[in-house]
Structure 1
């Protein structure tokens, strides 16, 4: 991807064609790509490739990344403010939190590359192209004799004058390089300070995003716990219902057995059975009224009355 493509993406980022979350994702990608290119340029410092042209490219790349970081930071703040509004989905909050951490990670890499660039630019000067001399003369090569013609002496003087001018130009060029290098170092130090301030703001955003993620996680855990508790209650209710059904069935069987035993007892002791009608009724009532069997109770009294009077 060329710097023209990256710059086009940055223009889209600034123009607002993307929503904040998409803009942050695009910005993080572009910063990461530019930081990789910046790191390669920094690695060339102090080598034979370290030329004034390389220093100029390094300067432009550094400024480009700085502007891109500012734009992405603003979009991340917008996304964070939106996440605090009601109705924002948990998925968007989680995505923005991940982007904030990715942005933080790529800024760390940029900081490392900046510090390395400052160290190398301080330690090394760019390679100065060798001056091409139109002619080179030395005193040992030229024997200035009295018999030399005036034309030869004039050429020798002109050659030496050109050498002096070239030397002066080279000195001026070196001084300009040194001044430019010092300005570049100051620029790096200033940008490092700006990135450090952005890093502090970003740390606050990452912390806020992390708090929201923790809240979402606690809500999810609470929902899981409530679901498990609801299932437990349903299981207990089902067991209780089956137990009650068993009690009703057992009660009916016991009532029947009691009645049959009592009827046998009546065949043997009719007079005692009649006198103990209340006992039978109490037993039967105890087992059936509790389970809403009023019709059974009424039928029992009718049958028992007819049997007792027979």
Structure 2
């Protein structure tokens, strides 16, 4: 009954490993696809294709990908902790870990470029607003004389819109910086996990080697025991033959005497 129960547990663990590995592989593909889309969007920033709608889409895909990266990281750590004796499972685990780290690197690189461009935009908007404020600080009389009252109103409205955009972009910068820090934390946790896993693997390999040595030693002892047994058997046969010969000689001597 115990053996059957352990077999059931092993089967469940194998199923869980398979499920996790498939989910991780699927997530890595999704993250990689999202990073590719993000990269195209980031390349459109500060170009004629740049727009609020583009930046909104970029924020949405960035947030979605960030969450998926965190979930995938948890699954990677879970699968790294799972015990497995199959070499194929260990190779699958290492391959998924390598692919995930490479994808995460690409994701973080895209995040950094987006943050840098957004910072540049914020500086540009602030510089423009300073010029507008300086222009608006002139006297109303001068503005009327210049025929710029309407122009001032238009610039003020534009300034308000830009200030709203400025607040949104500053919020985007903070979010990107926080996300970049989160990705850095994921790298640290994965690095520690892979290091510990390497130690575990080394330990497993050492145990396998030790077990192999014990098996080989046991085989040698069995061989020695078998050889010893054969020698004892031969000795018994020889002794029996000698005793029979001696008895035969005694009987013949008595008979002739």
Normalised by the size of structure 1, how large is the TM-score?
0.54
Matched residue, 1:65: 65
Bigger Rg, structure 1 or 2: 1
Q: Please, what is the CA RMSD of the aligned residues?
A: 4.0
CA shift for structure 1 position 300: 4.0
Q: How much does 1:203 deviate? A: 2.9
Greater Cα shift, 45-54 or 28-37: 45-54
1:202 pairs with 2:190: yes
Which residue, 173, 189, 199 being the options, matches 1:185?
Answer: 173
> 1:196 deviation in Å?
2.4
**How far does residue 188 in structure 1 lie from its aligned partner after superposition?**
0.8
Give TM-score scaled by structure 2 length.
0.63
CA deviations on 1:181-215 (whole Å, 9 max, x unpaired) are 22211211121122223333333333333333223
For 1:219 and 1:104, the matched residues in 2 are separated by: 29
Q: Using a 3 Å threshold, how does the CA distance of structure 1 residues 228 and 50 change in structure 2: closer, same or farther?
A: farther
2:28 corresponds to: 28
Match for residue 201 of structure 2 among 210, 213, 219? 213
Residues of 1 paired with 2:185 and 2:43: CA distance? 26
Relative to its length, the structure with more helix (as a share) is: 2
Q: Which residue of 2 aligns with 1:285?
A: none
Match of 2:85 in 1: 90
Task: Report the Cα offset of residue 114 of structure 1.
Answer: 1.5
Offset at 1:56?
1.9
**Structure 2 CA distance for aligned equivalents of residues 217 and 211 of structure 1:** 10
- CA–CA distance in structure 2, aligned partners of residues 292 and 77 of structure 1: 69
Cross-structure match for 1:286? none
**Which sections of structure 2, spanning at least 5 residues, go unmatched?**
1-17, 123-147
Aligned residues: 214
Instruction: Tell me the equivalent position of 1:135.
Output: none
Change (3 A) 1:34 1:216: farther
Uncovered stretches (5+) of structure 1, i.e. residues with no partner = 1-17, 126-159, 249-288
Contact residue 97 and residue 206 of structure 1 kept, 8 A: no
Contact 1:100 1:205 in 2 (8 A): no
Asked if 1:171 corresponds to 2:117, the answer is: no
